[in-house]
């Protein structure tokens, strides 16, 4: 579907995109093709699309893979896609992705092909994109995600240590994934046009063998970045005994003046384990 077709269909069906659901439909054929191409999809891959919307990317994905599974919350769009995409390899679920066990869903449609990879390819609803990213990175089965998000979020996810955008969310995502910003997308390529610019990013799941409680680590990271301009040890001493914090800095040979933005993701996990192990002894 091109820009004119999409706009006409929306008008004909009196479809008003939901602001609450963060619905902004991609119009550009060039961008749609670019997203699908960078995902490097093979027929054996299982593709998961979250928030397919009007089906702009869906109609391309269904031609690339033997198994396409889509999750759509909006009942209107779910009904539209059931009619519009009539292919035996297309499966759509009418549900809230935040309530779906992604790995269980994937297992329902996976096969025994040795080369099968599980990839997410999607233009995420911006209103809940951070929550969706957290679900994706915790999957034990998803190999890669090629997702469009708000440009500001993409920059946070891909931020490097010692840069302004580096924060608690950055660290949490990078503990699970390798991240890369692939390209930017202008707001004019959507209907309705959002007030923000967008970007497509690649998340390569590392499938960490290190087991940790994501809720506890997330809370720890928020403490570390509570005041970015304060020294890390001062932020930590709000929760942990200052003597223990100082001992940790000495044991790890860390500069007492370090701020959270100076610490690599993996080191945060070591510091978390050190402080919480000592607290429990």
Phi, psi of 146 (to 5 degrees): -115, 100
Burial grade of 164 (CB within 10 A; 0-12, 13-18, 19 or more)? exposed
| Residue set of the binding site for S-adenosyl-L-methionine | 24, 26, 51, 72, 96, 123
Residue ranges of the binding site: 24, 26, 51, 72, 96, 123
CB 50 within 8 A of CB 71: yes
What residues have CB less than 8 Å from 45, skipping those under 6 apart? 64, 65, 67, 116, 117, 118, 119
Point out which residues pair with 87 in neighbouring strands: none
Contact 61, 85 (CB under 8 A): no
Question: What's the residue count for the chain?
Answer: 281
Which strands make up the sheet holding 198-205, listed edge to edge?
Answer: 90-94, 67-72, 46-50, 118-123, 144-150, 198-205, 177-185
């Amino acid at each position: 579907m091109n820009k004119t077709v999409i706009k006409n269909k929306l008008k004909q069906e009196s479809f008003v995109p939901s602001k609450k659901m963060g619905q902004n439909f991609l119009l550009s054929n060039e961008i749609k093709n670019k997203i699908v191409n960078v995902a490097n999809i093979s027929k054996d891959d299982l593709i998961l699309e979250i928030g397919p919307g009007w089906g702009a990317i869906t109609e391309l994905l269904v031609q690339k893979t033997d198994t396409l599974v889509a999750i759509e919350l909006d009942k209107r769009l779910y009904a539209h896609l059931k009619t519009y995409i009539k292919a035996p390899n297309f499966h759509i679920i009418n549900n809230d992705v935040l309530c779906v066990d992604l790995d269980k869903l994937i297992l329902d449609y996976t096969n025994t092909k040795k080369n099968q990879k599980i990839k997410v390819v999607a233009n995420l609803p911006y209103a809940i994109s951070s929550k969706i990213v957290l679900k994706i990175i915790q999957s034990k089965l998803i190999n890669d995600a090629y997702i469009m998000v708000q440009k500001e979020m993409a920059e946070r996810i891909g931020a490097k240590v010692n840069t302004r955008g580096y924060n608690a969310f950055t660290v949490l995502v990078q503990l699970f994934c390798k991240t890369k910003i692939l390209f930017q997308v202008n707001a004019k390529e959507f209907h309705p046009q959002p007030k923000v610019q967008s970007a497509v990013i690649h998340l390569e799941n590392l499938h960490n063998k290190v087991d940790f409680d994501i809720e506890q680590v997330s809370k720890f990271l928020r403490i570390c970045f509570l005041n970015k301009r304060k020294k890390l040890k001062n932020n930590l001493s709000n929760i942990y005994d200052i003597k223990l914090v100082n001992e940790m800095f000495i044991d790890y040979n860390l500069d007492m003046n370090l701020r959270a933005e100076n610490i690599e993701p993996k080191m945060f996990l070591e510091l978390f384990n050190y402080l919480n192990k000592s607290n429990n002894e």
